[in-house]
Amino acid sequence: MQIALDEAYNGIGNGDGGPFGSVITKENHIIGRGHNRVLKNGDPTCHGEMEAIRDACRNSKTITAATASNFSKNTNKEKGCINYLYN
């Protein structure tokens, strides 16, 4: 979760978008990471989770994230989301 939070702060520092970061893991290894880039890319689909999924697909050279876990965190005091992705 700390890495997802670090991604969120990275995005804020760069002025890329909202305070959201995400990490995709598979078998306890990070296969993708991302943060909100809605403002940077002018694209409302560039949420942190989507950016992490795109990165995981590039890194694993596949379009599926079978049995991978998505850990998302925002910089607010709220709890982060934990979602599981299956193909």
Catalytic residue among 7, 27, 49, 51: 49
Answer yes or no: 49 catalytic: yes
β-pairing verdict for 82-85 and 29-35: unpaired
User: How many other C-beta atoms lie within 10 A of the C-beta of residue 27?
Assistant: 8
Greatest alpha-carbon pair distance for the chain in Å reads 35
Which tokens in the block code for residue 61?
């050279």
Residues annotated as catalytic (active site), given as ranges: 49
